[in-house]
């Protein structure tokens, strides 16, 4: 008996959101999407019962992993992303033996993914509580061990809820839950970065122009203040630049002409975009880095700060400033690498900051390309899957035989190369945005994801509206 036969009884019984049996009207999809988003915002404001003190392990990764520190959404989408990475690696190595085009294997794959998400949620919650990152308070009538157990249970329930909220949006709403949760969190930070009355961009400039805040342009400190901190000129330009580059990259594409094999005059095009795998593989890369830093924090707590210095060293505030884990940590602000401004941490040398920056660029560019390839293959966007989809739709490439193998060879001229190039480009842009800073202290990858997901959401909404206006098109594209 293989593992599939042994695991099928359990995996097939995992709770699942029912697939709609017929076409879901566009307005109803918007209703489901808005309802889940409202629930998500509500849960991010529901604090963990029994929590006394806390340290945010994910820190700067919050903009990518969503969620909210100290709330039911404590782990955010981190378990979903981690489980996806594990499944992608196992599928890429063909260790699972699952054919995602087979309905039976699809059920097993989805059940296995849910089990992994729940296991990762539990494995994340336990160190958070019992290593002291989330400290249980004294509650009358409850021993400390019971409060700690309830904290773990609350985090686990929150992780399960975000898993099924994502599934509801994917099947009954517009877009994907993971993408929308990221957009919601980043948009909240961006709007706050512009409109906040305390540290917002417009409030700061009002203070500068009215003389409430003095900026001495004759000193390096004053120039730094104008460009990066109070004035935020460079973060504003970086935010606009990333927005323009992503929107432009989404429009850059190679269009392969198609014609219908039976209906003469019916023509179309298959677009191979520059960012073919989207920017979602960036989440996977950052999730790997987040787990690495999570491990470093746990090692520091276990050894009580007495671990060898070459592994990791932390400041009194819990910020990493040396060792292997320092070089593997992402650069998230100009102060992390601009040594000539005097903004580096006291124990960090200029060459250490540059080595860290080099590691970050290498990790994101190479990792972005690798995960883009995995993403394309596991989401049926590769040359072989694309050729089969074109064949099933009755289309063919003019001048070529109507054969799946022939179409696949044509697709192999474009898809693999564009996938690698797009993944590397997205990784480069993410690090560049972090180096220069953004409005609202949104991470570079968070800004990339928000712009790209919003652009794709706009395209999907336009497609849904077109389907509503022309119901026959749903039958042509198999959406009925």
Q: What is the pLDDT of residues 129-147, one digit of tens each?
A: 998 889 988 887 889 999 9
CA distance 320 to 342: 18
Region 206-214: what's the mean pLDDT? 89
Q: Note the pLDDT tens digit of each residue in 287-329.
A: 888 889 889 988 988 888 888 888 988 877 777 888 999 999 9
DSSP-assigned beta bridge partners for residue 268: 258
d(CA 229, CA 222): 10
In the three-class reduction of DSSP (H, G, I as helix; E, B as strand; rest coil), residue 257 is classed as strand
Q: How far apart are CA 223 and CA 225, in angstroms?
A: 5
Question: Each residue of 168-182: pLDDT tens digit?
Answer: 999 999 888 888 998
Contact residues for 175 (Cβ-Cβ < 8 A; gap 6+): 33, 169, 453, 456, 457, 460
In Å, how far from its chain's centre is CA 414? 25
Q: 228 pLDDT exceeds 70?
A: yes
CATH topology of domain 26-173: Preprotein translocase SecY subunit (1.10.3370)
Which among 431, 179, 183, 73 is positioned nearest to 285, based on CA atoms? 431
Residue 472 has pLDDT above 70, yes or no: no
- Answer for the pair 333, 306: CB distance below 8 angstroms, yes or no: no
Average of per-residue pLDDT across 275-294: 85
Q: What is the reported pLDDT for 249? A: 86
Who contacts 294 (Cβ-Cβ below 8 Å, separation ≥6)? 57, 58, 124, 127
Structure tokens at 386: 């694309």
Residue 285 CB neighbour total at 10 angstroms = 28
> Residue 453's closest CA among 284, 294, 250, 291?
250
Model confidence pLDDT, tens digit, residues 62-121:
878 888 889 999 999 989 988 888 887 787 667 777 776 678 888 888 899 999 999 999
pLDDT score of 264: 67
Tell me the β-bridge partners of 271: 255
Of 409, 133, 443, the closest CA to residue 285 belongs to: 443
123 pLDDT higher than 80: yes
DSSP bridge pairs for 396: 259
pLDDT per residue as tens digits for the range 357-383: 999 999 999 999 998 998 888 777 889
* Percent over 70 (pLDDT), the chain: 94
Rounded to whole angstroms, how far apart are CA atoms 239 and 249?
Answer: 15
Burial class (CB in 10 A: 0-12, 13-18, 19+), 144: middle
Class of domain 224-285+358-454: mainly alpha
Start-end of CATH 1.10.3370.10 domains in the chain: 26-173, 224-285+358-454
At residue 196, the 3 state secondary structure works out as coil
Question: What is the pLDDT at residue 477?
Answer: 47
Distances (CA, A) of 39 to 72, 80, 155: 12, 18, 16
Q: What is the mean pLDDT of the chain?
A: 86
pLDDT, position 1: 57
Which of 92, 156, 84 is CA-nearest to residue 113? 84
Distance (Å, whole) CA 461 – CA 455? 10
């Amino acid at each position: 008996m293989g593992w599939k036969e042994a695991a099928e009884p359990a995996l097939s019984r995992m709770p699942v959101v029912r697939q709609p049996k017929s076409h879901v009207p566009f307005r109803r999809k918007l209703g489901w999407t808005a309802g889940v988003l409202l629930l998500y915002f509500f849960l991010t404001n529901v604090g963990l019962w029994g929590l006394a003190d806390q340290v945010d392990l994910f820190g700067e990764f919050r903009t990518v992993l969503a969620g909210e520190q100290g709330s039911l959404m404590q782990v955010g989408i981190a378990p979903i992303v981690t489980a996806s990475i594990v499944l992608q690696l196992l599928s890429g190595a063909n260790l699972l033996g699952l054919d995602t085009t087979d309905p039976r294997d699809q059920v097993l794959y989805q059940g296995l993914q849910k089990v992994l998400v729940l296991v990762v949620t539990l494995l994340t919650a336990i160190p958070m509580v019992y290593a002291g990152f989330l400290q249980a308070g004294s509650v009358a009538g409850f021993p400390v061990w019971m409060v700690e157990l309830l904290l773990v249970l609350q985090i686990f329930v929150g992780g399960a809820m975000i898993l099924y909220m994502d599934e509801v949006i994917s099947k009954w709403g517009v877009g994907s839950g993971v993408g929308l949760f990221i957009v919601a969190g980043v948009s909240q930070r961006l709007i706050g970065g512009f409109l906040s009355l305390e540290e917002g961009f417009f409030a700061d400039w009002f203070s500068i122009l009215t003389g409430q805040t003095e900026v001495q342009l004759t000193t390096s400190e004053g120039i730094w203040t104008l460009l990066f901190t109070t004035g935020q000129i460079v973060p504003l330009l970086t935010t606009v630049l990333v927005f323009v580059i992503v929107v432009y990259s989404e429009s850059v594409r190679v269009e392969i002409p198609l014609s219908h094999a039976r209906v003469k005059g019916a023509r179309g095009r298959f677009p191979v975009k520059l960012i073919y795998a989207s920017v979602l593989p960036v989440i996977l890369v950052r999730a790997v880095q987040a787990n690495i830093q999570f491990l470093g924090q746990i090692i520091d707590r276990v050894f009580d700060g007495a671990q060898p210095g070459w592994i990791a060293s932390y400041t009194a505030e819990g910020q990493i400033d040396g060792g292997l884990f320092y070089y593997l940590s992402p650069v998230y602000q100009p102060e992390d690498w601009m040594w000539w401004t005097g903004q580096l941490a006291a124990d960090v040398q200029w060459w250490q900051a540059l080595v860290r920056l080099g590691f970050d660029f290498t990790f994101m560019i190479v990792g972005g390309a690798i995960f883009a390839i995995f993403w394309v293959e596991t989401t049926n966007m590769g040359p072989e899957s694309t050729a089969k989809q074109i064949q099933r739709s009755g289309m063919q490439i003019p001048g070529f035989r109507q054969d799946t193998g022939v179409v696949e060879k044509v697709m192999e001229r474009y898809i693999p190369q564009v996938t690698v190039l797009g993944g590397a480009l997205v990784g480069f842009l993410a690090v560049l945005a972090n180096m220069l800073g953004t409005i609202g202290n949104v991470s570079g990858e968070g800004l990339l994801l928000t712009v790209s997901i919003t652009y794709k959401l706009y395209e999907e909404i336009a497609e849904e509206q077109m389907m509503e206006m022309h119901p026959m098109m749903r039958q042509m594209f198999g959406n009925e």
